[in-house]
Amino acid sequence: MFKITIPENSSSNCFDCVIYSLLKYFGFDYKAYNIKYFYTDYFDSSLNDSNYYLRRGESCEKILILKDIYNIDLIITKKNKDIDLFEIINNTIKNKPIAVTIDPYYCYWSPFYNKTHNYHVILIVDIDYEEKKYICFDVHFNTVGYVKIDFDIINNNFKCYYIFNFNSQNEIKLDAMIKIINLPLNIFDRDLDLKKSEMINCLTMNESKLISPDYLETSMSLINLMWIAEDKKHFSIFLKYIEKKIEKPVFSSIYKLLSSSEKSFLLAKSILTKYAITGRLKENELRSIIDQIIDIDALTVDQIINVFKEIDYKC
């Protein structure tokens, strides 16, 4: 059995927690994974209408980070009628854990159980053949770490599975990391007024209608706001990682900006939570918070660019 543990300061996002924990277990420099938490896009448009909806942004794909930073190949296979998941797990688990995406509506240990359909990633670390259960590592069981799940629950309800192919480890180079950070830096939209307007419309016109007072714990609108706030904190961990690499404290002012942004997203979450309960939305207060978030983003982008110039890296 693979005895996976959740590292300190891991994201509460299920997939990120799985990857972070795997990196630690297999001896990778896992703190570099926090590079993925730098982004300044928080919403996108729906395929069905012209409205904007909140999302947790990403600076680049998980696959890109795992391959370019760690030289790990991530193979994702969607469910189809020809897949025998038990056989795949049985063959894979001999050498490495295997992750699956499952609807938490069917997971009795999850707060989503019998309430809300969604996606959840768990890591299968062993098989109990006698009890016909998979032994799984799950972020929702962070105080215990593991939960036994009937074969049928996962075999019948999984959406896809993930195979991690661990190659010879790359040396984690500063050039490669800064190249990844440059992606969101270079596409940052300088039309701040438009971004503010779109984001306030996203939260007041669309997301607020999706939050039910009876399902606050499983509201993806509120969960996304919480995750975005967490991501600001976790990106600070990455900046400290770079400072350690170059042996020079260069991001002091940026830590303060990220902390302020984290608090602003939590305030926005609090306002929408109160709105769901009381039916009264403090729109002016929410608008002020959004203004602050976008202004902080602009300052953060400019200061990171300036720091990279100071340490002789081009953006």
- If you average pLDDT over every residue of the chain, what do you get? 89
CA distance 188 to 297: 9
Q: Do 180 and 267 fall within a single domain?
A: yes
Is residue 255 in some structural domain? Answer: yes
Is residue 22 in some structural domain? Answer: yes
- CATH number of the structural domain spanning residue 139: 3.90.70.10
Q: Residue 275: which domain range?
A: 174-310
pLDDT above 60 for 89: yes
Q: In this predicted structure, what is the pLDDT of residue 46?
A: 62
Q: pLDDT band at residue 315, thresholds of 50, 70 and 90? A: very low
Half-sphere exposure at residue 226, Cβ-oriented, CA atoms within 13 angstroms: 13
Q: Which of 97-101, 121-125, 167-171, 203-207 has the lowest mean pLDDT?
A: 167-171
Q: pLDDT band at residue 146, thresholds of 50, 70 and 90? A: confident
* Mean pLDDT computed over 65-75: 89
Counted domains in the chain: 2
Q: Do 247 and 112 fall within a single domain?
A: no
Tracing tokens 């891991």 back to the chain, one arrives at 10
Which of residues 133, 166, 199 is at a domain's end?
A: 166
Q: Which of 42-56, 62-76, 212-226 has the lowest mean pLDDT?
A: 42-56
CA distance 294 to 190: 10
* Mean pLDDT computed over 230-259: 95
Q: Do 187 and 285 fall within a single domain?
A: yes
Look up the pTM and report it. 0.90
pLDDT above 90 for 67: no
* Mean pLDDT computed over 188-217: 90
Q: Do 202 and 239 fall within a single domain?
A: yes
Residue 242's Cβ-count burial label (10 Å; 0-12, 13-18, 19+) is buried
Q: In this predicted structure, what is the pLDDT of residue 109?
A: 79
The number of beta carbons lying within 10 Å of the beta carbon of residue 129 is 9
Better-scored residue on pLDDT, 214 or 51: 214
Q: What is the pLDDT of residues 12-66, one digit of tens each?
A: 888 999 999 999 999 999 999 999 999 999 987 665 666 778 888 765 555 678 8
Q: What is the per-residue burial (b if ≥16 Cβ within 10 Å, else e) of 215-227?
A: beebbbbbbbbbb
Q: Which residues contact residue 62 at a Cβ distance below 8 angstroms, ignoring those fewer than 6 apart?
A: 15, 19, 36, 74
Is residue 305 in some structural domain? Answer: yes
